[in-house]
Amino acid sequence: MQYYLKALQNYAVFSGRAIRSEYWYFVLFNVIFSFVIGLIAGLIKIPIIGTIYSLAVLIPGIAVGVRRMHDVDKSGWYLLIPIYNLVLACTEGTQGENQFGPESDSA
């Protein structure tokens, strides 16, 4: 949960690096919250709630993805390559400093 909150705190920070756990915990909690919000919105018949949540986490999601690409020493534009970005997101980050900054500490 701390990584999800950390990603939200760095709302639009596209510089720096994000370790694997920060990225994947953000994805995990985002999926869980989306499911729960969608379920609740469906029960109370107000589907706009899910749309609002999705728009609220769009920029943080892109930002943490870009920082994840930076951790494997790639440009954030690699997010646009469908399968390769998934491979990079699963790859261990560069040890030590790279062109995008020092190694990120874990939360």
Task: Read off the amino acid at residue 36.
Answer: V
- Two structure tokens written together for 104: 């990120």
- Two structure tokens written together for 86: 């998934």
In a domain, 53, yes or no: yes
Contact between 104 and 19 (Cβ < 8 Å):
yes
How many independent structural domains does the chain possess?
Answer: 1
In a domain, 70, yes or no: yes
DSSP 8-74: HHTTT--SS---HHHHHHHHHHHHHHHHHHHHHHHHTT-THHHHHHHHHTHHHHHHHHHHHHHHTT-
Q: pLDDT digits over 44-93, tens only?
A: 999 899 999 999 999 999 999 999 999 999 999 999 999 999 999 999 99
In a domain, 45, yes or no: yes
What pTM, to 2 d.p., does this model score? 0.89
In a domain, 96, yes or no: no
**Which structural domain, as residue segments, surrounds residue 77?**
2-90
In a domain, 13, yes or no: yes
In a domain, 17, yes or no: yes
